[in-house]
Amino acid sequence: MPVDRSLVARRVAMALAVAACLAQGAAWAEPVPASEAAQRGYQLLLQRQDSGCVLCHRIPGLPVGGDIGPSLEGLSARASAPEVRERIADPRRFNPLTLMPAYLSLTGLTNVAQAYQGKTILTEQGLDDIVAYLMQSDRVRP
């Protein structure tokens, strides 16, 4: 039976085109390195004593996470960086009955241990770093 060379050539061309598209897709899906701020944010998120976020939230890229609060996976698709920052800085502005602590506010705090009086849970820089990680976490590798 004779072989139709044009059919073979078309199939080879199609296979090469599909392979090229798949190779490009794999490159797009590959995570990009995190910024320095996001790397610092990742480290802060791992430290329960500094941020405590992992006690209540599932966070992409972290080996542990709680389920008391909402998952933070896909956060960058749901909120802007300034919105995320505001909600972490003082979540009571959005929900006065929230269990989540205010990370940059001292307002309304009572019975604070002397060693912590006048100090916020996070620094401005620490909060910015955590927000940087959360906004990049779906597409970066720490």
pLDDT at 18: 45
Please tell me the pTM assigned to this model: 0.71
pLDDT exceeds cutoff 70 at 98: yes
- Averaged pLDDT, 102-131: 93
pLDDT exceeds cutoff 80 at 38: yes
Each residue of 23-60: b (16+ CB within 10 Å) or e?
eeeeeeeeeeebeebbbbbbbbbbeeeebbbbebbbbb
- Averaged pLDDT, 13-39: 55
pLDDT at 5: 66
